[in-house]
Structure formats: structure tokens, C-alpha cells
Amino acid sequence: MTPIEIAEKLCTLCQVCVKKCPSDALSMQDGKIVVNEKCTACGICVRTCPEKAMSLRNLPKKAIAKDLKDYKGVWVFIEHSDCKIASVSFELLGEGRKLADKLGVELSAVLLGDATERMAAESASYGADTVLVMNDPLLKNYRTQPYLAGIVQLVQKYKPEIFLFGATTMGRDLAGAVATKLRTGLTADCTALDIEEQTKFLKQTRPAFGGNIMATILTKNHRPQMATVRPRVMKAPLKDAGKKAAIINETIVVSAELLPTMIVDFILQAEQNAPLEDAQIIVSGGKGMGSAKNFDMLHAFASAIGGTVAGSRKASEAGWISAAMQVGQTGHTVRPRIYFACGISGAIQHVVGMQTSDIIIAINKDPHAPIFSVANYGIVGDVLNIIPQMTKIFNEGSGNNESH
């Protein structure tokens, strides 16, 4: 049965619901409004029907398999490679702290690896009350299977109510498997987390439809409430080397022979520039730049101000910039101190990748370009004139001197 009930007596076949449905789940067939499998039960049709003819079907309350009250605590998965903790894990410890405080529970870091002592201490200095450690040579480098087995073992023993992972390749590879094994809810790529006052549920807010829409998700009857969180959106707390945490060591129960994968090699990406995500000043070009040649002036400007050149999806598809330097929903998320948007219209799929920049400076000929509604400074002009002009100013000024 479908999640939506339609009172046919009230329905006037105006089809407002059909137009408003974000999932294309409604259509008119044989003189009736019909709901199909695409329905996500978001309730937009219920809210927008002028005749109040639609309602969400009340499902019988499920017998809850486990007692939710047994689940306590906020956990953060500590992602690392080469014994270096990924910055998203620190960001999650910061966010996790806020959630744990609102709930009045402990914040635990979950660390699987080999030679984990220093990383455990680091997790403590970023605010974890407890660090759950599984130390084993099999866990030295991430692989789905042993990590899945270890995490599931820990969750079944210690029962956290919330479990956060970074929305990185590692986090998304692992969390999807863990949530399925535990038969619990997982929300992907969250950009905001909060605790609902009355129910104490975790409110998980995330972009969908390529960033066109935001959805707030709850996992009401299953535990732990799992979420992967977008990197560079939450703020990492300050490190306090004086902070100590309780270390709990657990032994992973897994057999080496049964592990289905073997890492053959890892080829580090040749870094010509600093990784885009770390850049504090970004000069980004879009379709309005017009040609690959015109990107030269962006490189010149970036050199003059110590910036990194990036681009929109259109620029990447045109070959004006490598895919690795693409900013946006299907590219990278960046949060530099300054983001120059040059000849970029500002479609939502691009904006979601840079909207947390401190300062956005947009240059575009079109006064109606959507980029101007998110830019701190918007110059309505020809980027091909303005960029060289600015480059000249910075090359002439103190920017090019060695000494200060």
C-alpha cells in the first residue's frame, strides 16, 4: 500500500500535488490521482493540496525490536590513514560534543587501527570522553570487512544512540555496510545536526536532488541513529593536549583468512598545488570565462594573490580546468577565506560547493546572475577586464615583495 491516502470525494483533480511532488510520484490516470513507488512520504502533497484531500497513511505502530532506552552515548568514527587522523573526524568530535552535551551523555571516539596510541591521545585532546580502541595489524589500512566486523562488535556491546562518520569515501563505504548489518537508519552527507527537544531524536539535515532541496530526517525506532557528515561544514574544536580520555581496548574477533580483500598498492595523487579543500584563497572560473585561453588570466591573478585556481562543472566539462579542481555538488566542497567566482552564474549545484566560504566575490556581466544573491561583493562587469585590472593592482602593490 502506498504511504498517501487520497480522499477521492474531496479531490478536484486540480493536479497541484502532481506539480509539487519532488519525487515525481503522483500522476493522473483514468480520472484519478495515483501514487507510485517513487513516493518518499515527504508530505509536501499533503501540505499543499488546496482541498485537504491527501493524508499520510497511519502505519500500525511497530513493535520496537530492541529497547531504545538501552542505547546511550554519541560516537564518532575516527578516520585515519598513515596514522594521521582526517580533519573531518575532529570536526565531528566538535559537533558530537554539542550533541552529547544536549543529551547529557558521553562522547566516544571509535578508533580501529594499528599503533593507535598517539591517535587515541589526539582524539582525547579534541574532546572525546572515551576512546574505544581496537588495535590489530589487520586493521592497519582500511578495508570494509574487518572494519565492518569490528564496528558491529563494538555497537552490539556498547549500544550508542548516535554514531557519526565523515562523508568521505571511507566513511560512506563503511557506514552503508554497518547500517545495513545493524538494520538501522543511516542519513548521508548531513550538513546540520541537532537534537529535537521533546523526543531527543537526532535531527539530520542534508541536501538532496543535487542540492536543490534540504531534507530533515529522523530515525525514530531504530538505533544507533547513524549519519555521515559532509567534511568542512562543521567546525573542529581547539586542540587541548591536556585533555585526557578513558581508553577502552577491545579485541576484534575476525579471521584473517576470511577477509575478502587485499590492498595491492596505493598511489598518492601527484600534488602540483595544495589540495583544493585546504586552499584559503580560491580563484574560480565558470562558463563566462569563455575559453581555455582566458583561464590564463585567472592563473595570473591567482599567482599575484597566492590563490588556487578552480572552476565550475561547466568549466571542467569544457576542459578548461581539470576535474580535480571542480567545485560544486558533483565536485569539491571548499570553504576558503575568499572565493572569487569569475564568470560563474551561481546555479545551486555550484553554490552548495562554496557557500560556506568566508567571503564570496563575484564578477559577472549579467546583473541577474544568481551568484549575486550569495556574494558578499558582486561586481557587475566584464570579468575579462576586471581580473587583469585586479592582477595589476596586486602585482604593483606590496603583494609581490619578499619582505614585510
Partner 1 sequence: MALLLHIDIVSTAIDSQYCSEKVTIVHIVVCLKQVPDTTEVKIDRKTNTLIREGVPSIANPFDLNAVEAALVLKEKYGATVTVISMGPPQAKEALRRAIAMGADQAILLSDRSFAGADTLATSYTLAQAILKLRDAGGVDLVLCGKQAIDGDTAQVGPGIATRLNLTQLTYVSKIESVDADGKHITVERKLENGVEIVRGNLPALLTVVKEIYKPRYASLPCLIESLAYEPVVWNAKQISADSSQIGLEGSPTWVETIFSPPLREGGVILNPGDENYDKEFSGLIDTVKKIVAEERSKLVCS
222 touches partner 1 by CB under 8 A = yes
The alpha carbon of 323 is separated from its chain's Cα centroid by a whole number of angstroms, namely 19
83 touches partner 1 by CB under 8 A = no
Q: Which range touches partner 1 (CB under 8 A), out of 104-112, 125-133, 213-221, 239-247?
A: 213-221
Residues 355-374 that bind partner 1 (CB under 8 A): 355, 359-361, 367, 372-374
Q: How many CB atoms lie within 10 A of CB 245?
A: 20
Cβ-in-10-Å burial (0-12, 13-18, 19+) of 345 comes to buried
Least Cβ distance, residue 184 to partner 1 (angstroms): 6
Residue type, 144: T
36 touches partner 1 by CB under 8 A = yes
Cβ-in-10-Å burial (0-12, 13-18, 19+) of 42 comes to middle
Q: Which of 32, 43, 157, 246 binds partner 1 (CB under 8 A)?
A: 43
Least Cβ distance, residue 229 to partner 1 (angstroms): 13
Omega before residue 50 within 30° of 0, cis: no
Q: Which of 10, 13, 14, 213 binds partner 1 (CB under 8 A)?
A: 213
Q: Which range touches partner 1 (CB under 8 A), out of 89-97, 217-225, 244-252, 289-297?
A: 217-225
Residues 95-134 that bind partner 1 (CB under 8 A): none
199 touches partner 1 by CB under 8 A = no
Q: How many CB atoms lie within 10 A of CB 268?
A: 6
Q: Which range touches partner 1 (CB under 8 A), out of 95-103, 118-126, 182-190, 244-252?
A: 182-190
272 touches partner 1 by CB under 8 A = no
317 touches partner 1 by CB under 8 A = no
CA geometry: angle 58, 61, 62, nearest 5 deg: 130
Q: Cα separation of 71 and 73, whole Å?
A: 7
- CA torsion angle for 363, 369, 375, 378 (degrees, to 10)? 40
Q: Which of 198, 267, 272, 319 binds partner 1 (CB under 8 A)?
A: 267
Q: Which of 176, 232, 243, 395 binds partner 1 (CB under 8 A)?
A: 176
Least Cβ distance, residue 122 to partner 1 (angstroms): 19
Which residues are paired to 364 by β-bridges? 380
Question: CB-wise, 209 or 291, nearer to partner 1?
Answer: 209
Q: Which of 62, 69, 293, 368 binds partner 1 (CB under 8 A)?
A: 62
From the list 212, 159, 190, the residue with the least C-alpha distance to 349 is 212
Rounded to a whole number, what is the distance in angstroms from the first to the last CA of the chain? 72
Q: Which of 12, 156, 216, 291 binds partner 1 (CB under 8 A)?
A: 216
